[in-house]
Every structure is written in structure tokens, then in C-alpha cells.
Amino acid sequence: NAGVTQTPKFQVLKTGQSMTLQCAQDMNHEYMSWYRQDPGMGLRLIHYSVGAGITDQGEVPNGYNVSRSTTEDFPLRLLSAAPSQTSVYFCASSYLRGTEAFFGQGTRLTVV
């Protein structure tokens, strides 16, 4: 059972480049979310989804797009990377009626 898998683990981008951070879960969870974590801070919610075809914004959505075409996958897109998006990104999933959220191991993104 893989749980929540994030790829890549590390990425360096140039300012203005685009990329997609991948997140996949094999637990049939309805709820998925993306967080970013900056040094010395807690996790901040970027976007979340309560099921396929449904997404919504979190605390810090600007500069990021998401889609949820399947239950398993919830990719996070950076359309034009900026140095302010340098961070560690975590994906999480849970059942809608569940109590425990499962997190991936993170993607460390550097934008130069």
C-alpha cells in the first residue's frame, strides 16, 4: 500500500517556467489537498478537493491551479514560477468522513 505519493521529490525551476507537481493516492480517499511550508512556519493550505471534478481554494491559492479528474490524482500546477513559490509542498488525502489525514513526503521546490 503506497499511501500518498508525490513526485518529484526535488525540483529547481527558473523564474517564469511552468511545472506540475504530482500527487497520487491509492486509498480511494475523496478529500485531497495541497499545502506549502516555508521555513519556520506551519503548513498553509493552497487548494483542496472533496471529490473528482470539485476543487476549491485554500488560504494561499494565488499562482497555483489544480484539477481533479480522477479520485486518485490531484496535480498542482505552477503556470509561471516565481521565487516566492520556493517552498516545500505537501499533498494530503483523507476520507470525507474520516478523521486521519495522510500526507506525502513532500516536494522541495526551488525557483531561481
Partner 1 sequence: DAKTTQPTSMDCAEGRAANLPCNHSTISGNEYVYWYRQIHSQGPQYIIHGLKNNETNEMASLIITEDRKSSTLILPHATLRDTAVYYCIVRVASSGATNKLIFGTGTLLAVQP
Contacts to partner 1 by CB under 8 A? 4, 31, 33, 35, 40-45, 48, 50, 56, 58-59, 88, 90, 92, 94-106
Of the pair 29, 111, the CB lying nearest partner 1 is at 29
Q: How many Å apart are CA 97 and CA 29, to the nearest integer? A: 10
> For the stretch 84-100, what's the b/e string if a residue is b when 16 or more beta carbons lie within 10 angstroms of its beta carbon?
ebbbbbbbbbbeeeeee
CB of 29 to partner 1, least distance (A): 10
Question: What residues form DSSP beta bridges with 13?
Answer: 111
CB of 19 to partner 1, least distance (A): 20
CB of 22 to partner 1, least distance (A): 15
CA-based max dimension of the chain: 41
Question: What residues form DSSP beta bridges with 11?
Answer: 109
Of the pair 17, 86, the CB lying nearest partner 1 is at 86
